[in-house]
Structure formats: C-alpha cells, structure tokens
Amino acid sequence: MHNEQKVTDHIYWIGGNDFILPRFEGLIHISRGVSYNSYFIDDEKTAVLDAVDNSIRDVFMDDLKFLLKGRKLDYIIVNHMEPDHSGSLLALAEAWPEAKIVTSAQAQKMVSNYFHVDLKDRFITSDEKLVIDLGMHKLHFVKAPMVHWPEVTFTYEETEKVLFSADAFGTFGVLNGSIFADDVDYKEEYLPDLRKYYANIVSRYGAQVLMALKKAAKLDIRYICSLHGPVHRTEEDRNMIISTYAKWAAWTPEENSVAIFFASAYGNTSLAAQILAGKLAARGVKHLKLVDLCSESITEAFPEVLRKSHIVLAGITMNMTLNPVMNAFLDLFEEMGVSNRTISIIGNSSWAPNVSGKIMKEKVEKLKKCRILGEPVHIVSALSDDGKLDELADLISSDVKAGQA
C-alpha cells in the first residue's frame, strides 16, 4: 500500500500524518496533529526534497522505493535540518548511498552534529548560483536564513514553477485526504493552526521572513510546497498565504480590536477583565477576545497577540512578584519581539504593594514600537469601583475606532 500523491505530473508528495503527537517541539500543544511533507521529482535524474520525522519513516521510505521503481536516487535536497524533517535523513542516505546531498554549508555541519557520520564526499553546497539539472526540471536555491533556522534554503523548480519553502507557510493540522489547500476550507480548517505555528515558531524572525518574501516575489510561483500542511496551487491561495505572512512579519495586526489576557487566583481579576470586556462591547468594540492564562497554555494564547491591535494585561501579585504565568507570557512577548501593539495594564494585589502592575509596565516598556495606553489600573483585592475601568474603556474604545478610521 502506498500513500504518495501527485503535486504535478512529475512531482509527488511523499509525506504522512502524525495524529498522536501531543506537543510540537515538546512545548506547543496541538490537538489536530501535524503532517510531515517530503517531495519527489521523477525525471531523467531523480530527487527527493527533504526527509521526514522518524515517526513516519517507514511509510516515507516505502513510497520513495515505489516511485523509484528500481532506479537510483540521484539527489537528496535538504532545505531544513530540524529533526522533524531530518530525523530519517541518515536512513535515506544509507538506503541510496549513490545520492548526492545538496544542502547549505550550515546544514552540512548539522548533519555531522546530529548523526556523527562523515558524508563530506557526498555534499554539494546549495548556493544561489547553483542549478541542479534533472532533465526537464531545473532546481535553483534561495537562501532563507533564520526562517526559522540559520541553515534554511528554499528550492525553486523553474519548469513547473514550484517553490519548496521549507517550514515557511507551514501549519499544524493533519492532511485530510487531499494535499491541496483549495480542496478544503483553508481558512476554517487551517488558518488558526497556521497562526499558532507562525506565532510560536517563526514570529521572532519577522525581518528575515520579509527578506525571504522579497526574494520569492521575483519568482514566478505556481505551487507553494511547505514541509507542513497543504500545498497551495491556486492564485487566490498563494496570494492569501503570502500576504498573511507579510502582515505577520511586519507585526501588522489582523484587526483593530482587543484581546484581554488575565491571570487570576480567586476570580477577582477575572471578573475585572470580564467587566472591562463588557464595557468595551457597549462602546462598540467588536471581535473582543478574553483569554484566561491560568487555564490555557501561553502557546495557545500567544497567537491572539498576532490578531489584535490592542492588548490588555490583567495580572496579580503573588509572592511579592508577578503571577508566574503572566510573567512567562510577557517573557514570550520579549523573546518573539512583539511590536506595534497598544497595551493597557490592570494590576491586582491584596496584602502586598502593586508589584504586578509595576512589573508588567516595566516589561512592556522594553518592547519595541509598543505603547502603553492609559495609566495602569490598580485593584486592591477586589474591584470596588468600576470608574477606573470606565475611563480605561473610554480610552481603548476611542483608540480602536481611531485606528479603524
């Protein structure tokens, strides 16, 4: 039994689904699994583009053997060395010892680091002047460092105009039969997972993403083949995925609205966040989002930062410092380089000083091109007078509407 599918008449997807992985990279909770994509080009000379995670290695190897039909494999193209793609690379290289391994100089070092074998005699360095001629198909290479590892390369096939984009444009979520984005409701099925993938894995490298997109804009692209998720083959889908990436890379909000993130011990801070949300709704702010950081992982919450123009942080003082979940959430802001956001703050303390509000403000002030709207609101134990929330709701709603004008 074989699982390969045609991308074009001569290019095949030979990946597979992982339905049971609970956390991607041991950190990011995924509930809909993930696909690992590899591609095979059938020509006078043959090539496989990237390997797969070890969890689907046997299916991958069987599909490749079936497509080769006893012929030799001429080239192994390595665009990305992260183990969810290179896990089966050594098995692939050993099964076809005659195949040349085409990859960047940085990736060549990683091969040695991961597998402790000497494959130097088989390496071809994939610089941007190199062309691999397979017969009908011609492969070019586009350096894309830090999207999202330093060794990353895109491969462009000029005849059928296919961009093999490594992890760029990748998404969580298994493939449901068809490999093509236009065969599913992509925005319903995959956009939230695309956002989560980008937010938690790629968002730190927005400048590098924009550089890679600038290079890709010079190419005539008909297919975008990522290492995770569906293949994009229609103009509408290609434009959607590229414009979405460009927006995220520039930290341009998807919508002028508000996400309220709260960390509450006994419900008082949660209630303040809910009251504020109600006041914002009454003032005409739509598409609000309330996120409880104590019940939802920060990797689940963080994608909302990509979506919204305005953010409210409501956190409590614990052990004379900031609630650890809110603290970790704001550390992720700094790590991923959150930019171009308007942020308001609500701090709550009982017997201790308002340490939470002070720490949140200090952390936000470190962020580039972010501004604090209004003075931090200080609650002592429980909200006794919602007048300060009225003032904050007035400020935020006016600012949101100004951005919509």
- Could you tell me if 198 and 306 are in contact, meaning their C-beta atoms sit under 8 angstroms apart? yes
Strand partners, 190: none
Half-sphere exposure of 170 (CA within 13 A, CB side): 27
Strands 34-36 and 16-18: antiparallel
Query: What was the pLDDT predicted at 1?
Result: 63
Those residues whose C-beta lies under 8 Å from the C-beta of residue 91, and which sit 6 or more positions away, are 57, 61
Confidence of residue 405 (pLDDT cuts 50, 70, 90): low
Q: For 157-208, what is each residue's pLDDT tens digit?
A: 999 999 999 999 999 999 999 999 999 999 999 999 999 999 999 999 999 9
Return d(Cα 156, Cα 177) in angstroms, integer.
Answer: 26
Residue 70 burial by Cβ neighbours in a 10 Å radius (0-12, 13-18, 19+):
exposed
The DSSP result for 74-108, as a single string, is -EEE-S---HHHHTTHHHHHHHSTT-EEEE-HHHH
Q: Is the model's pLDDT at 404 over the cut of 80?
A: no
Instruction: Please choose, from the candidates 138, 143, 112, 137, the residue with its C-alpha nearest in 3D space to the C-alpha of residue 125.
Output: 143
Helices 235-249 and 206-216: crossing angle, nearest 10°? Answer: 150
Report the chain's mean pLDDT, rounded to a whole number: 95
Query: What was the pLDDT predicted at 3?
Result: 83
Strands 16-18 and 47-49: unpaired
Return d(Cα 257, Cα 287) in angstroms, integer.
Answer: 6
Query: In the CATH scheme, what is the homologous superfamily, with its name and number, of domain 5-249?
Result: Ribonuclease Z/Hydroxyacylglutathione hydrolase-like (3.60.15.10)
In the predicted model, what is the mean pLDDT of residues 11-30?
95
Return d(Cα 160, Cα 139) in angstroms, integer.
Answer: 10
Query: What was the pLDDT predicted at 372?
Result: 97
Query: In the CATH scheme, what is the homologous superfamily, with its name and number, of domain 259-399?
Result: Flavodoxin domain (3.40.50.360)
Which has more pLDDT, 387 or 1?
387
Return d(Cα 297, Cα 295) in angstroms, integer.
Answer: 7
Q: For 212-260, what is each residue's pLDDT tens digit?
A: 999 999 999 999 999 999 999 999 999 999 999 999 999 999 999 999 9
Q: For 74-108, what is each residue's pLDDT tens digit?
A: 999 999 999 999 999 999 999 999 999 999 999 99
For the chain, the maximum distance between any two Cα atoms, rounded to a whole number of angstroms, is 78
pTM of the predicted protein model: 0.94
CA-CA-CA-CA dihedral for 157, 160, 166, 169, to nearest 10: 140
Domain boundaries defined on the chain:
5-249, 259-399
Those residues whose C-beta lies under 8 Å from the C-beta of residue 385, and which sit 6 or more positions away, are none
Q: Could you tell me what percent of the chain has a pLDDT over 70?
A: 100
Instruction: Please choose, from the candidates 107, 126, 114, the residue with its C-alpha nearest in 3D space to the C-alpha of residue 87.
Output: 114
Confidence of residue 12 (pLDDT cuts 50, 70, 90): very high
Cα–Cα distances in Å, from 33 out to 1, 3, 171? 22, 17, 10
Residue 210 burial by Cβ neighbours in a 10 Å radius (0-12, 13-18, 19+):
middle
